[in-house]
Structure 1
Amino acid sequence: MTEYDKALTARATQIAGLLVFEIPVHGDNRGWFKENWQREKMGLAGLPDFGPVQNNISFNDAPGTTRGIHAEPWDKFISVATGRIFGVWVDLRAGSTFGVVVTAILDPSRAVFVPRGVGNAFQTLDPNTVYTYLVNDHWSADAQYASVNLADETLAIDWPIPLDRAELSVKDRAHPRLSELVPFAPRRTLVLGAGGQLGRALHEVYSDAGYVDLAARGQLDLTSSGLDKAFRWRDYDTIINAAAFTAVDAAESAEGRAAAWAANVTGVSTLARLATEHGMTLVHISSDYVFDGTSPRPYREDDSVSPLGVYGQTKAAGDCIVATVPRHYIVRTSWVIGDGRNFVGTMLSLAERGIDPFVVDDQQGRLTFTSELARAIRHLIESRAPFGTYNVTGSGGVCSWADIARRTFALAGHDPDRVTGVSTKEYFAAAATPVAPRPRNSVLCLEKILSVGFEPAPVDRLLAAYVDAKKHALARRKGHA
């Protein structure tokens, strides 16, 4: 018999993410009423906001009708409209709980949330049982499915009605044993802009992960009208967007302005919409250029943006869009150095060629090596840090570009006094093309990223290692010449 007027509660089970809900059912002489799925109340009780897109109903004529055990690539909220079922759930996901079994009797006053990759089965206990479920994706022939035999000996399910007397389909009787099953793969991670400096660092930091897909610029156009169908997005848990228009001076031209807005705003808005629709985490890279550089202290994550130039404007707009995604990390950084053309590499080249550079000395900040940026991104995702904005740079003292140039010369065995410091205005005085205004203060406060357990490495140590690696690479090239 259905139990009336329970309090709405959620109970965790031995299978991670599988929740059993007690649902208030209100009855009188006319029958009963219940809120079968109530987004706000059930969210407060613990139900993920899983975004259902379809409602399915299964009518079962006789007791003993048995269906399953099926795991699909979507989440399900399962309840009973009339009758009772014996529900069975088996974790078919890779991990320590693979093969764990949970059972419960469901009637109109009890429901269950079944996460993606958990096998679901039921056996009806009453005639004319109606079983209903919400799912957050549409059926697709190319999606990954997994099934295990209802009579698997290792699962040892105590069916109320023995399977030899139950009503099963031929297909369900033929499902493989658990020992034959390949565990259900987790949702994947997609790195966009994989050919860039950060993309290459992400490739390296995820080199041990078989669940990461890489898409370089030539493989995916963020501004394409076909982006919606470029991937089966429901298969992805996380998008790391390492693709961006970063030519800050070119963005000041008419052509560059259009390209910057297309990549940094239009493309990002499409990713934000897809991430929201499919329940994905979106990782977005922000910049110190969203600030005007006039703050007397390091910039915090919650400081108001005030960009000076087009590039900064597009990055600030992208930040605002990504902040609307329920699951997002905005990783704000500055003065990025990685595998490719960059400031430190340029200084090393000048030093080796005997050129004494003039370098800006009135902009302050810290370098960020892409290896650290990639490491911080993986830490945020895997530690499940609270969603939001995080500053990430190297740690240590604040310096100017001229200071970094002198340090680079010295580490490479050259006289640091060959570097002459000049003001930004002096440096760009003779520029023939438009120049983007630079923030004078690019120092970012690191307290928040430290609070979630990530400790950025000192810039001095990373710079020394970077220069040493470049010196060895140059020596090898000369040896082969």
Structure 2
Amino acid sequence: MSLPSLETTPIPGLVVVRLDRRDDDRGFFKENWQREKMLAIGLPDFGPVQNNVSFNSDRGVTRGIHTEPWDKFVSLATGRIFGAWVDMREGETFGATFSLEMDTSVAVFVPRGVGNSYQTLEDATAYTYLVNEHWRPGIAYPALALSDPTVAIEWPIPLTEAIISEKDQHNPSLDPGTAIPARKVLVLGAGGQLGRAFAEAFPAADTRTRSELDVTDAAAVADFPWHDYGVVLNAAAYTAVDVAETAEGRVAAWAANVTGPATLAGLARQHGFTLVHFSSDYVFDGTAGLEPGHLEDEALSPLGVYGQSKAAGDVAVGLAPRHYVLRTSWVIGDGKNFVRTMQSLAEKGVSPSVVDDQVGRLTFTGELVRATQHLLDSDAPFGTYHLSNGGPAMSWREIAQAVFERSGRSADDVSGTSTAAYAEGVLAQGNPFAPRPLNSALSLDKIRATGFEPEDALVALDRYLA
């Protein structure tokens, strides 16, 4: 069987699929839905979970216009129809229509928010459709009058002669006040520096701190309306790298960094939202070369508990059909962080000793927000991307020296030490210390290939300190 073909329509996301139907003297055969081929021609991987068949005994049966809260892939097993669709979503194309006659060689993908209707043109017509959410009793959805003069659908069989249900005879007229809003954005981990950056950048988003929604709490997850969301940004994480090496910290790290993301991946499969998850350079052992740095497909090789939990979380999120994993390094945002600490020491006249054998790049939260927005807006291929600010890789000492110079101090006021020496001091005080990757530089080639150019880290540092 050859590939089907795809045709766009005036309604965004609504597409016509011409199927490869093989006919002979016995009848016909077709691949009505073949996932690999459908993705190859550009259909979304919408994850159907239910197949329905509506059998219509008579010519002239007319159903709709219904706007169910799920995506649909409609086709025919027998007969012919006149199909008509109306965009009921908020936006410039609200009220736009499209119609065509369909036989068993034609299918149509209908995105949620688009009203769907049809009229049978032959007796014994079997209308079949895949949907990506299970039907739920009591569900309400917008409908539109078949005779609405605003959309003015030209039904082949006059509605006065058609067979229409009592309910569909009383559907309302088109009303912009009832336009279906886009599915919302949800920011998890809104109390952290990355979560706060997303909350500021997405003012219309719903935000939840861990105390407001703990995704490791089965009851809280079950009660939350996940089907209302089109994008979930998971900025929640356990980031106490050293404390993760303790018995208590290990449990907390795995709960937040593995159980939470795995739960979200399952919810993404169930409800069809895009899951954006943020990971870490700590999933690697730091032995890659500085150029180009760690690659997205490099084997995971975490050194400590924190890195192990983040690596397991990456694997779990990868099971979501629509996902982006953004691995990042050395995050700087609104709150306590390395740059603010060095700035404070410079202002107080302190001359610190900073490790000089760990190398990487700063990532400002604004850059993570910008990259996330780019991936979503550009419909970049789903998968894992590395993201940091650009410019040459630097050691922690070199970054501290850059902060000191911008704070009116000399770079010579920052001395160097090794990671091993620093760890020895921490352990001598009875505190836990996690192993660190010595090279945290991430290759940025993959995200650059999508059209995103990371801003130089020192340029971003200047703005941050100002």
Cα distance, 1:199–1:108 mapped onto 2, change above 3 Å: same
Q: CA deviation at 1:143?
A: 5.5
Whole-Å separation in 2 of the counterparts to 1:142 and 1:358:
65
Equivalence for 2:458: 460
Whole-Å separation in 2 of the counterparts to 1:455 and 1:327:
23
SS of residue matched to 1:20? strand
* Alignment counterpart, residue 84 of structure 1, candidates 69, 80, 83: 80
Q: Contact 1:152/1:178 (CA < 8 Å) preserved in 2?
A: yes
Aligned sequence identity (%)? 57
Which is further off, 135-144 or 22-31? 22-31
Cα distance, 1:74–1:352 mapped onto 2, change above 3 Å: same
Whole-Å separation in 2 of the counterparts to 1:164 and 1:184:
29
Q: CA deviation at 1:136?
A: 1.4
Whole-Å separation in 2 of the counterparts to 1:457 and 1:343:
19
Q: CA deviation at 1:26?
A: 5.3
Whole-Å separation in 2 of the counterparts to 1:269 and 1:464:
38
Whole-Å separation in 2 of the counterparts to 1:89 and 1:249:
57
* Alignment counterpart, residue 379 of structure 1, candidates 374, 377, 382: 374
Could you tell me which amino acid in structure 1 is paired with residue 451 of structure 2? G
Whole-Å separation in 2 of the counterparts to 1:90 and 1:130:
22
Cα distance, 1:302–1:45 mapped onto 2, change above 3 Å: closer
Could you tell me which amino acid in structure 2 is paired with residue 395 of structure 1? G
Q: CA deviation at 1:54?
A: 2.2
Equivalence for 1:436: 434
Cα distance, 1:150–1:467 mapped onto 2, change above 3 Å: same
Q: Contact 1:7/1:22 (CA < 8 Å) preserved in 2?
A: no
Equivalence for 2:295: 300
SS of residue matched to 1:113? strand
Cα distance, 1:451–1:130 mapped onto 2, change above 3 Å: closer
Equivalence for 1:314: 309
Whole-Å separation in 1 of the counterparts to 2:449 and 2:414:
38
Equivalence for 2:359: 364
Q: Contact 2:132/2:272 (CA < 8 Å) preserved in 1?
A: no
* Alignment counterpart, residue 449 of structure 1, candidates 440, 447, 460: 447
SS of residue matched to 2:47? coil
Could you tell me which amino acid in structure 2 is paired with residue 369 of structure 1? F
Q: CA deviation at 1:227?
A: 5.5
Whole-Å separation in 2 of the counterparts to 1:179 and 1:435:
62
SS of residue matched to 1:275? helix
Please give the residue correspondences for 1:81-160 in structure 2 after superposition, counting only pairs within 5 Å: 81-140=77-136, 145-160=141-156
Could you tell me which amino acid in structure 1 is paired with residue 455 of structure 2? A
Q: CA deviation at 1:202?
A: 0.8
Q: Contact 2:367/2:454 (CA < 8 Å) preserved in 1?
A: yes
Could you tell me which amino acid in structure 1 is paired with residue 449 of structure 2? S
* Alignment counterpart, residue 19 of structure 1, candidates 15, 21, 39: 15
* Alignment counterpart, residue 65 of structure 2, candidates 58, 61, 69: 69
Please give the residue correspondences for 1:77-476 in structure 2 after superposition, counting only pairs within 5 Å: 77-140=73-136, 145-207=141-203, 210=204, 212-226=205-219, 228-297=221-290, 298-431=293-426, 432-468=430-466
Q: Contact 2:133/2:270 (CA < 8 Å) preserved in 1?
A: no
Q: CA deviation at 1:12?
A: 2.7
Task: Note the alpha carbon deviations across 1:305-324, whole angstroms, 9 max, x for none.
Answer: 22111111111222222233
Task: Tell me how large the CA RMSD over aligned residues is.
Answer: 2.4
Structure 1: which 5+ runs fail to align?
A: 469-481
Task: Note the alpha carbon deviations across 1:96-142, whole angstroms, 9 max, x for none.
Answer: 33222111222333332211111111122233433222221123467
Cα distance, 1:465–1:22 mapped onto 2, change above 3 Å: closer
Q: Contact 1:148/1:181 (CA < 8 Å) preserved in 2?
A: no
Q: CA deviation at 1:443?
A: 1.4
Q: CA deviation at 1:156?
A: 1.9
Q: Contact 1:137/1:234 (CA < 8 Å) preserved in 2?
A: no
Cα distance, 1:395–1:81 mapped onto 2, change above 3 Å: closer
Whole-Å separation in 2 of the counterparts to 1:343 and 1:360:
12
Which is further off, 33-42 or 433-442? 33-42
Q: Contact 2:45/2:321 (CA < 8 Å) preserved in 1?
A: no
Q: CA deviation at 1:19?
A: 2.5
SS of residue matched to 2:421? helix
Which is further off, 192-201 or 162-171? 162-171
Cα distance, 1:26–1:141 mapped onto 2, change above 3 Å: same
Cα distance, 1:221–1:102 mapped onto 2, change above 3 Å: same
Q: CA deviation at 1:435?
A: 0.3
Could you tell me which amino acid in structure 1 is paired with residue 178 of structure 2? V
Cα distance, 1:342–1:156 mapped onto 2, change above 3 Å: same
TM-score by length of 2: 0.91
SS of residue matched to 1:218? coil
Whole-Å separation in 2 of the counterparts to 1:44 and 1:402:
49
Q: CA deviation at 1:281?
A: 2.1
Whole-Å separation in 1 of the counterparts to 2:413 and 2:462:
19
Could you tell me which amino acid in structure 1 is paired with residue 14 of structure 2? L
Task: Note the alpha carbon deviations across 1:443-469, whole angstroms, 9 max, x for none.
Answer: 12222222212122222222122222x
SS of residue matched to 2:167? helix
The number of aligned residues is 461
TM-score by length of 1: 0.88
Task: Note the alpha carbon deviations across 1:267-325, whole angstroms, 9 max, x for none.
Answer: 21121222233333221211111122222322222222221111111112222222333
Q: Contact 1:6/1:22 (CA < 8 Å) preserved in 2?
A: no
Q: CA deviation at 1:48?
A: 3.4
Could you tell me which amino acid in structure 1 is paired with residue 199 of structure 2? H
Could you tell me which amino acid in structure 1 is paired with residue 211 of structure 2? G
